Structure 1
Amino acid sequence: MISAGEFRNGVTMEYEGSPFVILEFQHVKPGKGAAFVRTKIRNLKTGAVLEKTFRPNEKMPRAHIERQDMQYLYSDGDLFHFMNTETFDQIAVNASDVGDALKFVKENDTVKILSYEGQVFGIEPDLFVELEITETEPGFAGNTAQGATKPAILETGAQVQVPLFINQNEVIKIDTRTGEYLGRAKD
């Protein structure tokens, strides 16, 4: 059990029968009345974000999320196939459970499969990946005084914004949480 007074960003809990993760929290002590905890929480199954307030002594059970390393094999229509690299067991996950999580993941890359009570609800790719640019317009030095960007298509099909000096067939580093260009990959 966890009390609302112990809330921290990233803590998982069960609320109204579903697993939630705390995105933001704030302990509020008004001049009059009792203190409370204002939170922004995300439902791990549906992705819905809620704003809730709790009394600091309110208790709820922790949600135990299982994270398992698996290798992404291939997609087959609305199913994405993964393999446990230790036991070689394979599972298929619906596209609705994957969401946009695989837009920076190539076949044979390792990801974390997230499950709650045996039900897969999400995928966590590595935080930073190196991918090749397959399509972008040529850039010209001196086009602008400040860091202008242009669209680039990556080998996974995802589109990101890159600086003008980046060319096709270059390998770049991407932050998978934000989709931001971080720099050229080091050889």
Structure 2
Amino acid sequence: MAVEIAADIRRGNIIEHTDGQLYVVLKAESFRPGKGTPTTTIEMRRISDGIKVVNTFKTSDKLEKAFVEEVEFSYLYQEGENYIFMNTASYEQVTVPGAMVGDSAVYLQENMNVTLQMFNGEPVSITLPQRITAEIVETEPVVKGQTASGSYKPAKLDNGVRIMVPAHIDAGTRVVVNTEDGSYLERAKD
């Protein structure tokens, strides 16, 4: 186990909390007031049962960061509530519970390379690519008189996710989407 101060903890880190359980960090935000003690609020999910907790630490508090191995896997298919991934080096298949994938599941695409954090040979967390390319299947028509620079309109992607896109984007256009917050980044260049 490596010891890190709370201010250095980032999303996706695996930490061992004071109760001896492993937690995956979902969000970490530091707050530095003008007066008083700077704090870091960490939202995390317990790996064993999926329960989310939010704790606030002084930024200088020490936390135990678990040693996890990051392994490249390729997404194969969904089987019920679980997702099946294949190790790109050894071709070994791993089943990941849907609760671990969470809201990111909508961005999974066949043969997509993801990083699984493994602890004692078991997957404990998943990291998707930061950007994916998807096609717009449905969007509202451009309203006459709308300026092209500042206005956005709702659109539906081929994976069912709804995002906001610039007014000039039409159905059938391939776009790049940020998997962390579901925001439109740019028109795909392919």
Q: TM-score normalised to the size of structure 2?
A: 0.78
For structure 1, which segment, 168-177 or 115-124, has the greater mean C-alpha deviation from structure 2 after superposition?
115-124
Q: For the structure 1 residues 118 and 150, does the alpha-carbon distance in structure 2 shift closer, same or farther, using more than 3 Å as the test?
A: same
Query: Which consecutive segments of 4 or more residues in structure 1 shift more than 4 A?
Result: 26-31
Q: CA deviation at 1:13?
A: 3.1
Count, aligned residues: 181
Q: Specify every segment of 5 or more residues in structure 1 that has no aligned partner in the other structure, as ranges.
A: none
- Structure 2 residue aligned with 1:40: 41
Structure 2: gaps spanning 5 or more residues: none
Maintained 8 Å contact 1:71/1:109: yes
69-78 or 107-116, which moves further after superposition? Answer: 107-116
State the match for 1:135 in structure 2: 138
**Matched residue of 2:99: which SS?**
helix
1:2-41 correspondence to structure 2 within 5 Å: 2=3, 4=5, 7-10=7-10, 12-15=14-17, 16-20=19-23, 21=25, 23-25=28-30, 38-41=39-42
Cα separation, 2, equivalents of 1:130 and 1:40: 32
Contact 2:136 2:157 in 1 (8 A): yes
Kindly indicate whether the alpha-carbon contact (under 8 Å) linking 2:4 and 2:65 is maintained by their aligned counterparts in 1.
Answer: no
Greater shift after overlay, 71-80 or 137-146? 137-146
Seen in structure 2, the aligned counterparts of structure 1 residues 183 and 3 have a Cα distance that, compared at 3 Å, is closer
Cα distance change on mapping 1:171 and 1:109 into 2, 3 Å: same
TM-score norm. by structure 1 comes to 0.79
Larger Rg belongs to = 1
Equivalence for 2:170: 167
> Within 2, Cα distance between the matches of 1:85 and 1:121?
18
**Greater CA deviation, 77-86 or 107-116?**
107-116
Residue type at the aligned position of 2:55: E
Displacement of 1:89 in angstroms is 0.8
Deviations 1:129-156 (A, max 9, x none): 2111122233245335762322222122
Per the alignment, in what secondary structure is the counterpart of residue 103 of structure 1?
helix
Residue 52 (1) aligns with residue 53 (2): no
| Cα separation, partners in 2 of 1:60 and 1:38, compared to 1, 3 Å | same
Partner of 1:183: 186
Percent identity between the two aligned chains: 30
